Amino acid sequence: MKLNPRLAHIDAMIDQTYDQIWDCCCDHGLLGRQLLQRGAVRQMHFVDVVPQLVDRLQQLLQQEQPDIAEQRWQTHCLDVAQLRLPADTASPSVLIIIAGVGGDLTIELVQGILASNPGRSVEFMLCPVRQQYQLRTQLASQGLALLNEQLVQDNNLYYEILHLTTGTGMPLSAVGDSMWDFSREGDRDYLQRTLAHYRRMQRSGCSEVERIVLQYEALWLRCRA
Ligand SMILES: C[S@@+](CC[C@H](N)C(=O)[O-])C[C@H]1O[C@@H](n2cnc3c(N)ncnc32)[C@H](O)[C@@H]1O
């Protein structure tokens, strides 16, 4: 399966076999199909809100994976914010992937899932398009902890990938921590672009971004040290 660098990076970060993986906002389901094929999951769930996409994916899976029993995958046409995980007494390991949608929508979806499944232990793999700072601060305030974070460059754009848990992990930093490697040109470029973006907002009179600028400037000092 040919994945773009962003999806390939997410795939590589999934290094254990889960009982359930939910590929949310799956569209073509490329990532979930890859995970299913390489045996990273016992039961794969594909979720999208557009019925035509889900129907097409269902047909594709039936044709493409005739050797993979249908009990091992399921498609769902629903708003991810309403996702209710099946009741289970056996505490399955669950990974919920939300990639390729805006950060604001990602926050809404994660908050919806947490509200609909109180007390459930789950992991999230998130790769938002923009609004990474807001996503990080909101989810840290919801009590999510960090398992891993990586920065990936794809087609001249940069994406932060966050592997989070409702359980025990590291504190989730608002501007990122272990993902930065300032010996790499791309990391320095991404930090400069991010700082320039928030400085432009500050200049246009948006005073709330002042503390965001300060935090990225502190990183910039670390980068130049
Ligand atoms: C750009 S695609 C992302 C595909 C893939 N996850 C990726 O990273 O390449 C966004 C998909 O999110 C779906 N979507 C948007 N809002 C949704 C929601 N609230 N619930 C379920 N799916 C949603 C859209 O229908 C679309 O197929």
Instruction: Convert the chain into a string of H (helix), E (strand) and C (coil).
Output: CCCCHHHHHHHHHCCCCEEEEEEECCCCCHHHHHHHHCCCEEEEEEEECCHHHHHHHHHHHHHHCCCCCHHHEEEEECCHHHCCCCCCCCCCCEEEEEEEEEHHHHHHHHHHHHHHCCCCCCEEEEEEECCHHHHHHHHHHCCCEEEEEEEEEECCEEEEEEEEECCCCECCCCCCCCCCCCCCHHHHHHHHHHHHHHHHHHHCCCHHHHHHHHHHHHHHHHHHC
**How much is the pLDDT for 87?**
87
Distance CA 187, CA 179 (A): 9
Question: What residues are paired with 46 via a beta bridge?
Answer: 23, 75
Stated pTM of the model: 0.96
Q: Whose CA is nearest to atom 18 of ligand 1?
A: 79
- CA 140 to chain CA centroid, nearest Å: 14
pLDDT at 222: 87
Report the pLDDT value the prediction gives residue 145, as an integer from 0 to 100: 98
Between the alpha carbon of residue 153 and those of residues 66, 158, 161, 172, 184, the distances in Å are: 34, 4, 11, 21, 11
Q: Over the stretch 129-163, which tens digit does the pLDDT of each residue have?
A: 999 999 999 999 999 999 999 999 999 999 999 99
CB of 50 closer than 6 angstroms to any ligand 1 atom: yes
79 touches ligand 1 (CB under 6 Å): yes
Model pLDDT, residue 1? 77
Ranges in the chain, pLDDT < 50? none
- State in Å: Cα 98 to ligand 1 middle: 8
Phi/psi of residue 154, each to 5°?
-145, 115
Amino acid at 117: N
The whole-angstrom separation of Cα 94 and Cα 86 is 11
Tell how far the Cα of 89 is from the centroid of ligand 1, in angstroms. Answer: 30
pLDDT of residue 6: 98
Task: Give me the pLDDT at residue 92, please.
Answer: 92
Ligand 1 near 95 CB (within 6 A): no
Side by side, the strands of the sheet bearing 157-165 are 73-77, 41-48, 18-24, 94-102, 123-129, 157-165, 145-154
